[in-house]
Amino acid sequence: MNYELRLYLDQLTAKSAPIELKKTYARAIYIVEGSLAIKNGVSTRLTLSKNSAISIPESFIFSGGSVDATILRWELVKESEGANKILSARSTMLLAGKLSLGDLSNYLIRCDKVEFPPEGEALTHKHQGGGIRCLLFGSINIHTLGNIHSHFPLEAWFEAGPDPVYAAADKVLASAFARVMILPKMLIGGKSSIEYVNAEDLNKPKTQRYQIFIDELIQK
């Protein structure tokens, strides 16, 4: 079946009015700046702060926390479904990537952050599933299919998975991006999805560092 993974940039003012989001197949929310208050069900209340994330595929209510918030929100939906923008906040769909998936119970959603030191790089590689990345700070050049694309903070790009990619981070500044990928469920438990294209790169030192926030099976 044809699905889309969509990434929204939502900007909320402090203590903004409650907002309800409808149920979807999978959803990840990452806090770029500020804080976010979440009510899930009758009694579950929590506050998320900068550099944290949560998976909430079911419907839930959230609002701005004690300070203004900038959040990234990924949602897995059917390709034909309309955009899920938040009318009472500054909400923009940054990017949508098409995914052809089978039974969703055979997949997981993973949200993580990848960091690079100055002059860091990710050697030519593939992934076992598609996903959308969004740069948090620094800059990065993505080399794929004979093209080079430069990205800066809060700019997003889609990687299908099987296409070879080489990434070169900023030469002066540290860089990082947050991403969500839809991966085979056999990778649950934080197993790496990366496959290096060149055998000689397998044992070379790697400059990128990972922080996994969400690694959950998709519930139908």
Question: With a cut of 70, which residues of the chain have pLDDT below it?
Answer: 40-44, 85-89
Q: What is the pLDDT of residue 44?
A: 59
> What is the SS3 assignment for 106?
helix
> For residue 160, which of 207, 101, 112 has the smallest C-alpha distance?
101
Residue labelled with tokens 């889609």: 158
> For residue 109, which of 170, 28, 191 has the smallest C-alpha distance?
28
Quick one: CA dihedral 29, 33, 169, 192, positive or negative? negative
- CB-based contacts of 79, cutoff 8 Å, min separation 6: 2, 3, 4, 98
Within the chain, all domains assigned CATH 2.60.120.10 are found at 2-101, 107-217
Whether residue 99 contacts residue 132, with contact meaning beta carbons closer than 8 Å, is answered with no
Give per-residue pLDDT as tens, 135-165. Answer: 999 999 999 999 999 999 999 999 999 999 9
Q: Can you name the CATH fold of 107-217?
A: Jelly Rolls (2.60.120)
β-bridge mates for residue 99, sequence order: 3
Q: How many C-beta neighbours within 10 Å does residue 3 have?
A: 22
Q: Can you name the CATH fold of 2-101?
A: Jelly Rolls (2.60.120)
User: Could you tell me the pTM of the whole model?
Assistant: 0.93
